[in-house]
Amino acid sequence: MDAATTLKKHDLKVTKIRLAILDTLGKTELAKPYAELQATLAEFDRTTLYRTLLALMEKGLIHKALEENGESYYALCSDCSIETHVHDHMHFKCTTCGVVQCIELPKRLKFSAPGIHIDSIEIVAKGQCSNCN
Partner DNA sequence: CCTTTAAATGCAACACGGTTGCATTTAAAA
Partner DNA sequence: TTTTAAATGCAACCGTGTTGCATTTAAAGG
Enumerate binding residues for a copy of itself (CB under 8 A): 64, 66, 68, 70, 72, 90, 92, 94-95, 103, 105, 111, 113-130, 133
Q: Residue 82 pairs with which residues in a beta bridge?
A: none
Please say whether the beta carbons of 71 and 40 come within 8 A.
no
Q: Which long-range contacts (CB under 8 A, 24 or more apart) does 112-118 make?
A: none
Footprint on residues 7-36 left by DNA (CB under 7 A): 7-8, 12-18, 34-35
Do the beta carbons of residue 31 and residue 94 sit within 8 Å?
A: no
Q: 47 or 130, CB closer to a copy of itself?
A: 130
24 or 72, CB closer to DNA? 72
Shortest distance in whole angstroms from residue 10 CB to DNA:
10
